[in-house]
Amino acid sequence: MDNIVFNAANHVVAYSWQVFFFALDSAEASWLLAAVAFVAMWFAGISDTQNAYIQNLGKEKKDQTSVRSHVILFFFAMPVAFVSARALQHFFPRQRPMAIAPMEIPIDPAIWDTIKASISTQGSFPSDHAVMWFVMATSILWLSRPAGIMAIVLAVIVSVLRVGTGFHWPSDIAGGAVLGVSITIAALWAFRKIQPLKNLVYYIVGLFDRYPVVMYAVGFLILLDFSRKFAGLFGFLAIVLGKSVSH
């Protein structure tokens, strides 16, 4: 089944060199789009004067403080999910399709060889892009069902593009989706059951009210690192571990 779905996705993505390059570029652009989604969620809180609209968002009253506390929670879940995915890639060093499977490649072979040399040695299972997008989709679904459904569709599209360009097998995507959804649900459970965690999250939200200039500057830097696939975080881990950590 992996091979059948992979070949079908690759055939679609290899329709033209423009489509293929779009698929390649979309992988990195998706992280920036996810960062923008976090900002949108942060400002999606409902004020006390909009109580009529609140009923459309779900059973619980999602006022601004509640929404922002969950945005902080979901953002905490993201590096946990991403590092977990990279740990699994280390323990399950599955080769990527681009390294072992015949593919339709509509671009210059020299360019493709350069791309393969830079990425194919990393483990394939699970897909960290799938992990990231399914954390996002589950998070957005908590806030708004219509927006969450759109995020799920986008997560599937990004995942198909990753399969079509040979970065992942379909089962890598499935594993990443399960990991991302599971960690997000676990974070929601922990938030409701572990009072110190809830207190910490609400304390961080309160800091944005008390020190907006400092906190929004720090928030910008954190989101910038997130949009670069946690380059700073993995750089810090490399210093702590004393060896290079791929990201």
- How much is the pLDDT for 216? 94
In 123-247, where does DSSP find H-type helix? 128-143, 145-164, 170-193, 195-210, 212-227, 231-241
Pick from 20-24, 38-42, 234-238: least confident: 234-238
- How much is the pLDDT for 54? 46
Query: Cα separation of 155 and 177, whole Å?
Result: 9
- How much is the pLDDT for 62? 60
**Arithmetic mean of pLDDT, 98-106:** 86
Domain ranges of the chain: 2-241
- Look at residue 228 and tell me whether its pLDDT is greater than 70: yes
- How much is the pLDDT for 234? 67
- Look at residue 23 and tell me whether its pLDDT is greater than 60: yes
What percent of the chain shows pLDDT beyond 90?
29
**Arithmetic mean of pLDDT, 118-147:** 84
**Arithmetic mean of pLDDT, 108-124:** 77
Q: CB-based contacts of 152: which residues, under 8 Å, 6+ apart?
A: 134, 137, 141
Q: Which amino acid is at 222?
A: I
Q: Does residue 85 contact residue 124 with C-beta atoms inside 8 Å? A: no
Q: Does residue 71 contact residue 100 with C-beta atoms inside 8 Å? A: no
- How much is the pLDDT for 237? 67
> How high is the mean pLDDT of the chain?
83
Chain-centroid distance of CA 149 in Å reads 16
- CATH classification of 2-241 is 1.10.1760, yes or no? no
**Arithmetic mean of pLDDT, 169-173:** 92
- How much is the pLDDT for 42? 87
Report the 10 Å Cβ neighbour count for 90: 12
Q: Does residue 15 contact residue 173 with C-beta atoms inside 8 Å? A: no
pLDDT, tens digit, 9 for 90 and up, residues 37-67: 888 888 876 544 444 444 454 444 467 788 8
Please count the residues of the chain.
Answer: 247
